[in-house]
Amino acid sequence: MPGRLTGIPAAPGIARGPVWRYRPRGAAGVPVVAVSSRGEAELRIRRAAAAAAAQLQALAQRLCDLDHPGDAEILEAQALMAIDPAIVEEAVRLARSGLDPVEAVLASAETSAEALASLDDALLAARAADVRDVAVRVVRALSGAHLELPMVPSVAVADDIPPSLLAEMPPGLLLGVALAGGSPTAHVAILARSLGLPAVVAVEALLDAVHGASEIAIDGETGAIFVDPDSAELQALADRQAIRGDRDRAATALRGTPAATADGQRVVLLANIRSADDATRALEAGADGVGLFRTEYLFMRRQSAPTEADQTSEYRRAMEAFGPGRPVVIRMADIGGDKPIPYLGRPEEPNPFLGVRAIRLGHESRELLLTQLRAIWRAAGLAGVTPYVMAPMVATIADARLLIELRDEAREAVVASGAECPDRMVTGVMIEVPSAAILAPELARLVDFFSIGTNDLTQYVLAADRGNPSLAGLQDALHPAVLRTIATVVAGADAAGIPVAACGELAGDPAGALVLVGLGVDELSAEPRLLDGIRAALADVTGGQVRELAARALAATDAETVRAYAREILDAKG
Ligand code: PEP
Ligand code: MG
C-alpha cells in the first residue's frame, strides 16, 4: 500500500492522530533573563546547568525503570554535557562580560557544537545536536519557561526532535513520531523503539506536506506516511493493523513450544540479556537459554569495576534462573569500541572500534579477565550448572588460546580456594571479525562453539562504523558479503563438528532468522521480546524452503535483493 510520503521505518507500529508540529526554540524569541548583577548572572547560570543535569539524570532513571539502561546512557551523557566545565565556564565568562545569561549559555554551547560539527564526522555532528539540545534545556531552567507539550495526544512532526524530549513526554501524549531528518540509528529512533512509539524518519518533503494539515497517520513498519488520510487509506491502515494483531497473537500462542520449522527441524532459541534480572524476562519469553549475556553492562555506569563477589552473584542468579541443562552463555566484557569504561584509565584511541577492545584487553590487563572468569567458575559451582563462556572480538588463534589459558588459570585459583568448582567450562568464540571467519576451520578445533556477532561482522566486513547514521545503508547484515562470510564460518564449524549460534540483530529479524537457519546456523539468540516473531516465522517454513532462500541469498549481490527474497516467503504466509 503506497503512502503519500515514504520515509525510513524507525520504530514499529501504526500511529494516527493530530499533527503536533515541534519547532525547537532557537536563540530567537528566547526571553531575556533580568539579573541585578554579574555575580547573580553567574550564579543563575551555574544553578540552571545543575538543574538541567538533574532533569536529564531523572529522565535517564525513568528509562532505567522502564528497563532500558543502555538507552539511559544517551541521557546520562547529556547530563554530563549540561555541566561540562568548558561550556559552563565560557557561558559564565560571557555573562561577566555583560551578555544576557540566556545569550551567554546559547553562545557558549554553540561554540562547542560548531567545533564538534566542523570535524566532518557524522557521529560528532550528532553530539553537536545533543549539545544544542542541552543548551535549550539549560535556557529553560534559566528563564523558567515550560516545556511546550501537545494539548491532546498527537503525532510529533519535526525536522528533528531531541531524544530527551521524547523521554520526558507524559505517557500517552505522544502517539508517534515523523521526522524529516534523522536516521534509524539516531538516538531519537532508539528511544522511540524503547518507549514503544511508532516512528518514521528521513521523510523528504514532510514539513511542506504537513503545512496546514490537521491529521497524520504513520506506519513504522513500512515507512508510509499519510497526511490528512482519506477514509480508504484509514481503512487500509486499520486492516493492516488487524493483520499484524493476528500475526502477533498467533506468535504469542506458540510461546512455550520448541522452535522448529514446519517439517520439524529444531532450532535452539536463546535470549540476549544484560543483567540477571533480564534472565527472568528471557524465561518468560520462552527462551531455551541465554545465548549472549552482555556483561560489559555490569562494568558501565559505575565508578570502579564490579568485584569478583558482585559478578559471582549476578552470574549465579542468571544461571539459577535457567538451571542445569539450559545454557547461559556469558560473554566476556566487551569493553572498548563504543563502550569505553573511563575508570580503567585506558588512553583515548583514534579508532576505538579497531583498537584494544574486548579480548585484546586480556593481553595487557589479565587480571580484569581473570576476575571475571573466576566469578563464572564460582557462580557455576554455587548454582550447580555447567558454565558457558565466550570471548568477543576474537581475531586470531592467539586470542582464542588466551581465553583458554585464562579460563584454566582462573579454575586453578578457584579450586585452590576450596570453593565448589565444575570440571569444565563450555568455551566458545564470537565470530565478528573477518580474520576469525577466515580462520574458522582452525578456531573450530580449539573451542566448543561459535557465536556469530552479526552486528560487528557487518561493520568489519563492509568497513562501515555501526554507529554512523550516514552509513545506515551499509549496516544491513543481509548483505551477501556478510552472508557468504557466515557460510564459510558454518562450513568450518561443521568440519570440526561444533555448533554455530548467531547473536547479532540479524538473528532477531524474522527475515534474518530464516536466512541464518538456511545457511546452517543451529542456534539463534535475540532480545526476549523478538523470540515470538522468530518462532512464528520458522514454524511457517520448511527446512527446504530456508535452504533454498539461503542459496538465492548467497548468489545475490545486495542486501535489498536478499530482503525481498525473504519477504516473498514471509508475506506468502501472511
Ligand atoms: C554483535 O556484534 O553482533 C554482537 C552480538 O555483539 P555486540 O552487539 O554486543 O557488539
Ligand atoms: Mg559485537
Model pLDDT for residues 545-554, shown as the tens digit of each residue = 999 999 999 9
Q: In terms of domains, do 19 and 114 share one?
A: no
Residues 6+ away with beta carbon under 8 Å from 189: 10, 11, 182, 183, 199, 201
Q: In terms of domains, do 153 and 139 share one?
A: no
Q: In terms of domains, do 235 and 92 share one?
A: no
46 within a domain of the structure (yes/no): yes
Mutation pick for ligand 1 pocket among 290, 296, 430, 478 (CB with most ligand atoms within 8 Å): 430
Look at residues 203, 222, 248 and tell me which one is the last residue of a structural domain.
248
Q: In terms of domains, do 206 and 289 share one?
A: no
Q: In terms of domains, do 419 and 459 share one?
A: yes
* Average pLDDT score, the chain: 90
Determine the average pLDDT of the residues in 368-393.
98
| Dist. CA 272 → ligand 1 center (Å) | 10
Residues 6+ away with beta carbon under 8 Å from 228: 213, 214, 215, 216
Q: In terms of domains, do 63 and 194 share one?
A: no
CA atoms lying within 13 Å on the CB side of residue 191: 24
Nearest CA to ligand 1 atom 4: 453
Question: Which pLDDT score is estimated for 168?
Answer: 81
Whether 421 is catalytic: no
- Beta-sheet pairing, 268-273 with 290-294: parallel
pLDDT tens across 332-374, in order? 999 988 778 888 888 888 899 999 999 999 988 899 999 999 9
Nearest CA to ligand 1 atom 9: 294
50 within a domain of the structure (yes/no): yes
Look at residues 248, 281, 304 and tell me which one is the last residue of a structural domain.
248
Higher pLDDT, 516 or 121: 516
Query: 184 pLDDT band (50/70/90 cuts)?
Result: confident
The enclosing H or E element of 178 equals strand 174-179
Helix spans in 185-307 (H): 187-195, 206-210, 231-253, 276-284, 296-299
Nearest CA to ligand 1 atom 6: 453
Whether 187 is catalytic: yes
CB neighbour class for 15 (10 Å; exposed up to 12, middle 13-18, buried from 19):
buried
256 within a domain of the structure (yes/no): no
- Three-state SS string across 508-554, please? HCHHHHHHHHHHCCCEEEECHHHHHHHHHHHHCCCHHHHHHHHHHHH
Atom index in ligand 1 nearest the CA of residue 506 equals: 3
Q: In terms of domains, do 397 and 338 share one?
A: yes
Ligand positioned closest to the Cα atom of 339: 1
468 within a domain of the structure (yes/no): yes
Ligand positioned closest to the Cα atom of 292: 1
Least trusted range by pLDDT, from 185-194, 196-205, 405-414 = 185-194
Q: What is the CATH number of the domain that holds 483?
A: 3.20.20.60
Q: What is the CATH number of the domain that holds 219?
A: 3.50.30.10
Q: In terms of domains, do 231 and 269 share one?
A: no
Q: In terms of domains, do 200 and 318 share one?
A: no
| Dist. CA 456 → ligand 2 center (Å) | 5
Question: Which pLDDT score is estimated for 337?
Answer: 84
Regarding the beta carbon of 229 and ligand 1, being less than 6 Å apart is answered no
Q: Distances in Å between the alpha carbon of 472 and those of 163, 263, 283, 464, 475?
A: 19, 36, 33, 9, 5
32 within a domain of the structure (yes/no): no
Query: 59 pLDDT band (50/70/90 cuts)?
Result: confident
Residue 29 has pLDDT above 70, yes or no: no
Q: How far apart are CA 460 and CA 353, in angstroms?
A: 9
User: How many structural domains comprise the chain?
Assistant: 3
33 within a domain of the structure (yes/no): no
Query: Rounded to two decimals, what is the model's pTM?
Result: 0.76
30 within a domain of the structure (yes/no): no
Catalytic option among 68, 146, 187, 363:
187
Look at residues 98, 121, 143 and tell me which one is the last residue of a structural domain.
143
Q: In terms of domains, do 8 and 89 share one?
A: no
Residue 126 has pLDDT above 80, yes or no: no
Residue 214 has pLDDT above 80, yes or no: yes
Q: What is the CATH number of the domain that holds 54?
A: 1.10.274.10
Least trusted range by pLDDT, from 122-126, 167-171, 314-318, 387-391 = 122-126
Q: Residue 192 belongs to what domain range?
A: 4-23+148-248
Question: Which pLDDT score is estimated for 395?
Answer: 98
Residue 106 has pLDDT above 70, yes or no: yes
State the chain's maximal CA–CA distance in angstroms: 80
Q: In terms of domains, do 399 and 545 share one?
A: yes
Atom index in ligand 1 nearest the CA of residue 392 equals: 6
Q: In the numeric block, which cell numbers belong to residue 568?
A: 516473498
Mutation pick for ligand 1 pocket among 73, 185, 278, 294 (CB with most ligand atoms within 8 Å): 294
Higher pLDDT, 428 or 56: 428
Regarding the beta carbon of 455 and ligand 1, being less than 6 Å apart is answered yes
Q: How far apart are CA 210 and CA 204, in angstroms?
A: 12
Regarding the beta carbon of 503 and ligand 1, being less than 6 Å apart is answered yes
Q: In terms of domains, do 117 and 218 share one?
A: no
Higher pLDDT, 295 or 144: 295
Name the DSSP class of 505: G
Q: How far apart are CA 552 and CA 434, in angstroms?
A: 22
Higher pLDDT, 336 or 24: 336
pLDDT tens across 445-457, in order? 999 999 999 999 9
Residue 574 has pLDDT above 70, yes or no: no
29 within a domain of the structure (yes/no): no
Q: Is residue 95 within 8 Å of 38, Cβ to Cβ?
A: yes
